[in-house]
Chain A
């Protein structure tokens, strides 16, 4: 549902009377269901009688591109519009986004912000690897999606359920919202049921952290400054310097990584010919090697390998290498 509307009589949660708004920001990669998760949360809140508002934002339509979506929940009317700068809760579908400045995951997070990260690590383990000031909680949703739904990117219902639990919505309303939103997308009834089961599991499994309402915690106005002159040689990026995209790592795109078993490789070069990225190079001995910073994890090489020498391993680290 889009826009703001008033539902039935509200239930008791940590959503307070008055102008206080719970604002939830979802971060995912295109195809992971961040947008649908924001809709599920909004619909669930609406069915419990709250005012709700949800909207997504994305650039070019691509799998793997950072996507954000926003849900606001309140008892009274919601006056705020647009993107959420200072969220009460941030839901991260893909831990590798945290380090990507373009995804703006850490924007507006302070020590009072609740942060959920889809990760096999615990909140404490995560704290030691990345510096996030908020209250961290984690759950391995990808594992649940793979096990229950057979699809690594089918996270929308699970993200919606976790967010619903953290803001204090009822399990039944999540159930109902999952059915409604997935049916709107034309998802088959049997798959919706499996999504509901998986969502219920995540609703129960996620460990709670307090979520606070936020009235307005935006930064104050920034004083205007006249920028100092920079000569174009300093101020402009050098784009005449050849294929510089290779300095970027796309490791964060992977859910799985292809791993070569050299003993099984017959050196046919099919993987080298079929890698869309050019992440597979040929070593002097004629055998292929995957250069992981350039591998997006599409697994085309695994699919074409005639001797099953390319195997699949699940990525588990927060920061893929």
Chain B
């Protein structure tokens, strides 16, 4: 079954109105900021952002804020708990008649991968289980970026971070496999989960629009190409984001009530094209070519898409 967008078929449909304004101290070429800016065009300004500590801490550096919505700052492990508090307070106020129903706002958690995959996992799990009505937006740059690019559970095999350097005992860098948070979320059976990439803006806008129809947890995993942590020139953010999808490394998909649909079928170009653009994988190519490591990455990408094809054939 080929997935078809219902609304966003042309770039000119992207709303011109901005809800994430310029002037933040976030890095030039931040893929996470780009996704958030596109998402906010759909979410609007009647929003409370509950921000887990991370790169997005820099969004609102006092006394400045780029948002025309509200912003609540929490520790890395407690953003979904913060969202629960905000949602409950709104519900109580509306039930008591102290807040008109039309002044209700949407609660959106912003978390990096360190928070999402690691520290806030139990808090998120609790919120999904309680069927909390909120959005979760994870900007996944595959490392603890704001503290200096340390290994996180989202770091893929073969990537170099400051705590998984290319060294004699582990020449490939990170030896773990990236945690499959999408499947962990899906096991909780929330109404809507999706992965998005800023280089596929129509896909992103479509998914945020679709999610709005569902009551309960709506979870998004955003590919945040990171010039600072992944060691590439900021100009290549769009290329890195595009190649991650095209080589099958970052599948674009959604899961509605647990049913997974891939929203874009990539051509599966060799992963080398994607890896070569980034300094964090450079040690796989020079001074000696680490063929096994590259084959390993290609192998896990191939295995993923074989599983997808098998699942789609057997329905």
Contacts and interface: CB of A to CB of B under 8 A. Distances in A.
A300 B38 contact: no
Interface residues on A, range: 35 or more
Contacts of A303: 235-239
B11 A269 contact: yes
A298 B29 contact: yes
Given A61-B146, A282-B16, A298 B235 contact: yes
A257 interface: no
B27 A246 contact: no
Given A60-B58, A239-B63, A273-B38, A278 B22 contact: yes
Contacts of B12: 269, 286
B244 to A, nearest CB: 15
Contact of A276 (B37, B62, B147, B239): B37
B14 A273 contact: yes
A276 B237 contact: yes
Nearest to A295: B22
A304 B238 CA distance: 7
Contacts of A76: none
A286 B276 CA distance: 36
A234 interface: no
Given A61-B145, A62-B26, A277-B33, A272 B14 contact: yes
B29 A276 contact: yes
Contacts of B31: 276
Nearest to A64: B28
B14 A278 contact: no
B286 interface: yes
Interface string B48-72: 0000000001101011111110000
A188 B286 contact: yes
B228 A243 contact: no
B18 interface: yes
Contacts of B145: 61
A248 B23 contact: yes
**Central interface residue in A247, A248, A268, A298, by most chain B CB within 10 Å:** A298
A278 B20 contact: yes
Given A63-B27, A294-B22, A242 B68 contact: yes
Given A276-B29, A298-B29, A300-B234, A238 B63 contact: yes
A246 B28 contact: no
A85 interface: no
Interface in B173-229: 198-199, 201, 227-228
B64 A245 contact: yes
A31 B11 contact: no
Interface string B136-155: 00000000011111000000
Nearest to B20: A278
Given A276-B29, A278-B21, A244 B11 contact: no
A244 to B, nearest CB: 6
Interface of B: 11-12, 14, 16, 18, 20-31, 33-34, 37-38, 57-58, 60, 62-68, 145-149, 166, 198-199, 201, 227-228, 234-239, 286-287
24 contacts: A60-B57, A60-B146, A61-B147, A61-B149, A62-B25, A62-B146, A64-B28, A186-B166, A237-B62, A239-B65, A243-B66, A244-B64, A244-B65, A274-B198, A276-B34, A276-B198, A277-B24, A277-B37, A278-B18, A294-B23, A296-B234, A298-B28, A299-B234, A300-B237
